[in-house]
Amino acid sequence: MEHDPALSSLGKLETLLASIGEGQEIAVAVSGGVDSLTLAAAAHALLGGRVGMYHARSPAVPFDATARVEAMAAARGWRLELFDAGEFGRAEYLANPVDRCFHCKSSLYGAMRARSTAQLVSGTNLDDLGEYRPGLRAAGEHGVRHPYVEIGADKQTVRAMARVLGLGSVAELPAAPCLASRIETGIGIDAATLALVHASERLVGAAVEARTVRCRVRAAGVVLELDAASLDAIGPQRRAELAGEVGSLFARAGLARTVSFAPYRNGSAFLVGAHERA
């Protein structure tokens, strides 16, 4: 068992967290996904009351993610603070520019810093560094540390550590970025549209038991993206029925949109030039 790479990685993480927490507290940004929940569980198991968990409630955060954080905090005795990071009060965020994530994370880390003098840490893993992530710039400006990156842990390693920690279904959670990521760059962010996006994803996900569902709001209409296996499993008639149901959701809210299906592509609503990816 001592050669299990998951145990080895968890040992490295605990050593790092012990070093970070020596003589000070740690504040973990907990979004409700596998990365942040695993980091929170490891930090609390090691450092106990010297770790504070911070979860931002927002129209861009699915309510089931918030419920998951609250349930784990209650079950494991975490010191949890729920708060509004205030990104919906920032015009730069609402305009949904290519660096929207910078404004979101600036709000998040600024709000955490206003509540705690502890060392801020995030669940960013090694895989995240291969993408254009303007939120990392905000993290740098607020002195946030990324323990997984420091020990060289990727997403697969994080999932393995979650299993070792006994986090159950958390280890298998699919990726679930914020709901604002479904809105095409340049289309303004508003709470009502995000609620429709979430409702649409829950409707389609329940109907076809898909592992991945994204409801993309584009200038040309609404696009329902499904993982390849789920998309292949539904025929034209069922697609038309689901498109009609989603279209009705938007129409009842006064947002008539054409609805179509497409294969899932990571971050496909995010329009960024090659020079910005570099």
Tens digit of pLDDT for each residue in 44-101? 999 999 999 999 999 999 999 999 999 999 999 999 999 999 999 999 999 999 999 9
From the list 140, 267, 274, the residue with the least C-alpha distance to 212 is 267
pLDDT at residue 139, rounded to an integer: 97
Q: Which residues, 6 or more positions from 114, have their beta carbon under 8 angstroms from its beta carbon?
A: none
CA distances for 154 relative to 34, 161, 175, angstroms: 12, 11, 13
Choose among 88, 40, 44: nearest CA to 193.
88
pLDDT on residue 274: 37
Binning pLDDT at 50, 70 and 90, where does residue 278 land?
Answer: very low
216-263: pLDDT as tens digits: 999 999 999 999 999 999 999 999 999 999 999 999 999 999 999 999
Amino acid at position 2, single letter: E
CA separation for the pair 12, 8 (Å, rounded)? 6
Residue 152 has pLDDT above 70, yes or no: yes
Place of tokens 């499993």: 233
pLDDT of 24 above 60: yes
pTM of the model: 0.93
Q: Please check the confidence at residue 2 and state whether its pLDDT lies above 70.
A: no
Of 35, 119, 37, 112, the residue nearest 76 (C-alpha): 37
Mean pLDDT for the stretch of residues 140-147:
98
Q: Counting every residue, how long is the chain?
A: 278
The SS3 call for residue 229 is helix
> At which residue do the structure tokens 């709001």 appear?
217
Q: Is the pLDDT of residue 110 over 70?
A: yes
Q: Which tens digits make up the pLDDT trace of 181-213? A: 999 999 999 999 999 999 999 999 999 988 899
Q: Which long-range contacts link 216-219 to residues 24+ away (Cβ below 8 Å)?
A: 216/182, 216/183, 216/184, 216/268, 216/269, 217/182, 217/183, 217/184, 217/187, 217/193, 217/257, 217/269, 218/184, 218/187, 218/269, 219/184, 219/186, 219/187
Write down all domains in the chain, each with its CATH number in brackets: 5-172 (3.40.50.620), 179-263 (3.30.70)
Q: How far is CA 34 from the centre of its chain?
A: 9
- Residue 127's pLDDT is 93
pLDDT of amino acid 244: 97
The stretch 145-170 carries a mean pLDDT of 96
Tell me: pLDDT of 1 over 50. Answer: no
